[in-house]
Amino acid sequence: MELLDGRSLANELTQAQQMAVTQLKQQGIIPKLVVIMVGTDPASTIYTKNKQKRAAKIGIASELKQLPDETTATDLLALIHQLNEDATVDGILVQLPLPKQINEDQIIQAIDPQKDVDGFSPVNIGKLWLNEPGLVACTPNGIMQLLAAYNIDIAGKNVVIVGRSNIVGRPLAALMLNANATVTIAHSHTVALKALTKTADILIVAIGRARFFGVDDVKKGAVVVDVGINRLEDGSVTGDVDFEALKTHVSAMTPVPRGVGPMTITMLMAQTIEIAKGRAKRG
Ligand SMILES: NC(=O)C1=CN([C@@H]2O[C@H](COP(=O)(O)OP(=O)(O)OC[C@H]3O[C@@H](n4cnc5c(N)ncnc54)[C@H](OP(=O)(O)O)[C@@H]3O)[C@@H](O)[C@H]2O)C=CC1
Ligand SMILES: Nc1nc(=O)c2c([nH]1)NC[C@@H]1CN(c3ccc(C(=O)N[C@@H](CCC(=O)O)C(=O)O)cc3)C=[N+]21
């Protein structure tokens, strides 16, 4: 089995990003990302810290706006409008999930589509499904880059995606379709799920259930991308597939951790830098 090592690819790309940022700074432009986090979801806190660390390493200015749990939609919208208008801010990311008193769709729609580093705004989602250039959701984007780096062909392949969230499954289906795969999206209503996953040349799982898929559910020689992040009682992290059992069964597979996660953050940085390059061009 070939290990699709997201962490080492992320490290490689980080070096190129450091150079790109150095060049931008010579032109007087400092790429800037603002991450908004409402409340204190423990998983979000870890990811947010990872993002801050990576930004610092690359030289991207990153500001964390930590808002209390009881923040209202009105307060959050006011902050987003202010950041939309701030010419020094390139990327805006609102960490999801939001507390239940806040309507996520309304918040995402308020972000300027040109600063929407997550690629979640309706404008960017529309462009993605039309196969037009735009900002793309970071986790799916990272998966595509990881597969490309390992020369895994996608055109004509049967790709099965398990999970249909706005963050992972749906945008990934669009990217795979744009790359000429034959795409099936499965979810909790799918009948005979594991018979379906067994037909996949490339299987991508994002459901958030520890070691849900085993050897019997995967075609021999398939490529497996595991997006799931599940924290076990002992504090360790594992994916949605039984990695140890699949090792000798598949042709290539991402580990968890150090697979898709680091690539997600890399894509976030990449898009922040691209937006800042646009700012440099406009002068
Ligand atoms: N590595 C990374 O960068 C990232 C990792 N993640 C991780 O990926 C996982 C999924 O995240 P996210 O997409 O946000 O999760 P959501 O909870 O939003 O979506 C989960 C999806 O999985 C489906 N599902 C749940 N249980 C089953 C089941 N037993 N059989 C079939 N389908 C099922 C749900 O179906 P239905 O729609 O019918 O409810 C839903 O579509 C989580 O573990 C999360 O932590 C997420 C984002 C980034
Ligand atoms: N607006 C928004 N955008 C997101 O992109 C977004 C979000 N909200 N909410 C939560 C999910 C989850 N997510 C991850 C990012 C990095 C790792 C990551 O760095 N993982 C490491 C460490 C894992 C660990 O040890 O916990 C790894 O897999 O190696 C994981 C998960 C982004 N998300």
Q: Given this model, what pLDDT does residue 33 score?
A: 98
Give the pLDDT band of residue 157 (cuts 50, 70, 90).
very high
Give the pLDDT band of residue 156 (cuts 50, 70, 90).
very high
Based on the residue annotation, tell me whether 51 is a catalytic residue of this protein. yes
Based on the residue annotation, tell me whether 115 is a catalytic residue of this protein. no
Q: Given this model, what pLDDT does residue 245 score?
A: 98
Task: For the chain, list the domains and their CATH numbers.
Answer: 27-114 (3.40.50.10860), 138-260 (3.40.50.720)
**Cβ neighbours of residue 56 under 8 Å, at least 6 residues apart?**
62
Distance 208 CA to ligand 1 centre (A): 5
Q: Given this model, what pLDDT does residue 152 score?
A: 98
Q: Given this model, what pLDDT does residue 283 score?
A: 78
Q: Given this model, what pLDDT does residue 272 score?
A: 98
* Stretch 127-148: mean pLDDT: 98
For residue 223, which amino acid is it?
Answer: V
Give the pLDDT band of residue 204 (cuts 50, 70, 90).
very high
State yes or no: pLDDT of 209 exceeds 90.
yes
Q: What angle do CA 89, 94, 98 make, to 5 degrees?
A: 160
State yes or no: pLDDT of 84 exceeds 90.
yes
The answer to the question of whether 165 is labelled as a binding residue is: yes
Each residue's pLDDT tens digit, 231-255: 999 999 999 999 999 999 999 999 9
* Stretch 117-146: mean pLDDT: 98
- The chain-wide mean pLDDT, for the chain, equals 97
- Of the candidates 51, 127, 157, 219, the residue annotated as catalytic is 51
CA-263 nearest atom, ligand 1 = 3
In the chain, % of residues over pLDDT 90 = 96
Q: Given this model, what pLDDT does residue 46 score?
A: 83
* Stretch 261-283: mean pLDDT: 96
Distance 35 CA to ligand 2 centre (A): 13
Q: Given this model, what pLDDT does residue 45 score?
A: 85
Q: What angle do CA 255, 259, 260 make, to 5 degrees?
A: 130
The string over 171-202, giving b where at least 16 C-beta atoms fall within 10 Å of a residue's C-beta and e elsewhere, is bbbbbbbbbebebbbbeeebeebeebbbebbb
Q: What interhelical angle do 169-178 and 122-129 show, nearest 10?
A: 30
**252-253 and 223-226 as β-strands: parallel, antiparallel, unpaired?**
parallel
Rg of the chain (C-alpha set)? 19
* Stretch 142-169: mean pLDDT: 98
Tell whether ipTM is more than 0.90.
yes
- Of the candidates 17, 32, 95, 115, the residue annotated as catalytic is 95
The answer to the question of whether 188 is labelled as a binding residue is: no
The answer to the question of whether 163 is labelled as a binding residue is: yes
Q: Given this model, what pLDDT does residue 44 score?
A: 85
188 alpha carbon, closest ligand: 1
Q: Given this model, what pLDDT does residue 47 score?
A: 86
Distance 229 CA to ligand 1 centre (A): 9
Q: Given this model, what pLDDT does residue 267 score?
A: 98
Each residue's pLDDT tens digit, 16-65: 999 999 999 999 999 999 999 999 888 888 889 999 999 999 999 999 99
Based on the residue annotation, tell me whether 95 is a catalytic residue of this protein. yes
CA distance 273 to 283: 15
Q: Given this model, what pLDDT does residue 41 score?
A: 83
- Of the candidates 17, 32, 90, 118, the residue annotated as catalytic is 118
The helix (run of H) or strand (run of E) holding residue 2 is strand 2-3
227 alpha carbon, closest ligand: 1
Residue 107 to residues 36, 72, 85, Cα–Cα distance (Å): 11, 11, 16
DSSP state of 36: E
